[in-house]
Amino acid sequence: MMKGAIGLITRADDAGSSATANRAILEACDHGIIRNVSLMATCGAIEDAAELFRGRDDICFGVHLTLNAEWDRVRWGPVMPNDRVPTLIDAEGCFHRTPEAMKAAGALLDEAFLEMQAQLNRLRELGFPIRYADEHMFFGRVFEGYEERFDRWCTEAGLINFRRCLRRLPIRAEDNCEVTALLDALDRAETGIYTLVTHPAFDTPEMRESGHAGKSGEEIAFERERDTKLVTNAKVMEFCKERQIRFLRYDEVDDGRTNNVEGKMDLVRQPIGNDESGA
């Protein structure tokens, strides 16, 4: 018996963070299930991403708003001049490592939104048609009054607020989103639209430069190449084709005015063609 209709907003984060991430994400769009790409305007490979993804109208691009730089050897700072956002940076001129560290340093909400707007502007200047906004490390949780202001900011900027489409698949954390775990979660999922967030990259020396005391660069590189293999896996694509699970863009399921993604279920009931399924 065919189960209820399922739509999957497939997202790749951290484009622009490294050349290896850019190329893995491109492969995941061309030969896998990714339909949404979140861009880090603050990082050194963002111009490389702009060249790789130029003219790709088939991809829904978003700003991966970034106020934290978590790695030890690979650091980044604001798009704004440092003296315009002094509470967002540490003594090295880079973002604080975690949202909690940012809060402890007395980060100001006004400076956060000033930097967020600068990041959006930077991506648009590079030619990206930005449709949605999301957050690196969910930094918004440490600011009082952030969510309401963020929603207003998204509306004013003409962006979809990622929080409107944030229903996650029932994947257990200990499964690390391996192929079998993803297929099992899709098999158990109830009718609806879900978001699958991944971080594709290849295991390269560049990727191994990431990491910190809690997780080595080798571990990060392994996990991110695993994500690349997950979202380009033939079994995943065949399973979704058989079940008519559609891979969706944010701008297909949210018009910026409704929180009710269940009202969009007519989208996921449409037949899947080979081009859309990636199979």
Beta bridge partners of 37: 12, 61
Q: What is the mean pLDDT of residues 100-112?
A: 98
| Closest C-alpha to 88, from 139, 146, 156, 152 | 139
Rounded to whole angstroms, how far apart are CA atoms 62 and 136? 12
Is 50 a residue whose pLDDT tops 70? yes
Q: What is the mean pLDDT of residues 39-64?
A: 98
Q: What is the mean pLDDT of residues 226-251?
A: 96
Dihedral over Cα of 164, 16, 123, 135: its sign: positive
Q: What is each CA distance from 198 to 10, 119, 142, 220, in whole angstroms?
A: 8, 21, 23, 13
How many other C-beta atoms lie within 10 A of the C-beta of residue 119?
24
pLDDT digits 0-9 by tens, 52-79 = 999 999 999 999 999 999 999 999 999 9
Arithmetic mean of pLDDT over the chain? 90
Is 275 a residue whose pLDDT tops 60? no
Residue 3's pLDDT is 58
Q: How far from chain centre, in Å, is Cα 93?
A: 25
Residue 169's pLDDT is 86
pTM: 0.90
Residue 253's pLDDT is 87
CB contact set of 228 (below 8 Å; sequence gap of 6+): 24, 27, 28, 200, 201, 202
Residue 254's pLDDT is 67
* Residue 170 pLDDT level (bands cut at 50, 70, 90): confident
Residue 60's pLDDT is 98
Residue 165's pLDDT is 86
pLDDT digits 0-9 by tens, 203-212 = 999 999 999 9
Residue 174's pLDDT is 57
* Residue 172 pLDDT level (bands cut at 50, 70, 90): low
Residue 95's pLDDT is 98
Is 130 a residue whose pLDDT tops 90? yes
- Fold classification of 6-277 (topology level): TIM Barrel (3.20.20)
Residue 272's pLDDT is 30
